[in-house]
């Protein structure tokens, strides 16, 4: 009977422990960019959003990212010396082909999270339009520990 109680306590402890970012991502959770699999360290679950017209406007040059995703998936990956503020954190952003683009991840007015500084050019390069889906993962680079993102687009079905 004592063994059953210990086993139950152990299982409950395991069930209630939370680890938002995984040190070793499972292959099914990785972004589908095979050439990046060797460099992806801690990695978030994917975030999916339908692009708005302001996300794709050339003069806006930014995409809003949901606060809950940032709190649950991006903030746990930050190093102690990284601060998400108006200045922002430099990030490397990869597309489906593994092509890298440098951007900034920022927090505006303590409540809006945006990816900027290269976003407009990234949208033009990938010919995205409002209502296209964007899917992104945040991860730590295994070799240089830099904060990175993988961003993929799925065109709106006509």
pLDDT in tens, 73-126: 999 999 999 988 888 999 999 999 999 999 999 999 888 999 999 999 999 999
Cross-strand bridge partners of residue 154: 133
Q: For residue 8, is it left (φ>0), alpha (ψ between -120 and 50) or beta?
A: alpha
The pTM (predicted TM-score) of the whole model is 0.79
Q: Give mean pLDDT, residues 10-21.
A: 38
- Give backbone dihedrals phi and psi of 134, rounded to 5 degrees, phi first: -115, 140
Cross-strand bridge partners of residue 151: 136
* Three-state DSSP class for residue 98: coil
- Would you state the pLDDT for residue 156? 77
| CATH code for the part of the protein at 2-154 | 2.40.330.10
- Would you state the pLDDT for residue 83? 87
Residue pair 134/123 in contact (Cβ under 8 Å)? The answer is no
């Amino acid at each position: 009977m004592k063994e059953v109680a210990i086993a139950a306590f152990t299982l409950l402890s395991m069930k209630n422990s939370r680890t938002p970012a995984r040190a070793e991502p499972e292959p099914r959770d990785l972004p589908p960019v095979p050439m990046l699999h060797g460099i992806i360290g801690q990695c978030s679950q994917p975030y999916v959003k339908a692009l708005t017209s302001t996300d794709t406007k050339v003069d806006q040059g930014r995409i809003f990212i949901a606060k809950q995703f940032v709190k649950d998936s991006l903030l746990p990956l930050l190093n102690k010396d990284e601060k998400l503020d108006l200045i922002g954190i430099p990030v490397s952003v990869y597309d489906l082909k593994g092509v890298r683009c440098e951007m900034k991840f920022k927090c505006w007015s303590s409540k809006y999270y945006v990816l900027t500084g290269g976003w407009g050019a990234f949208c033009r390069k990938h010919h995205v339009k409002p209502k296209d889906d964007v899917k992104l993962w945040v991860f730590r680079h295994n070799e240089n520990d830099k904060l990175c993102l993988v961003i993929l687009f799925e065109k709106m079905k006509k």
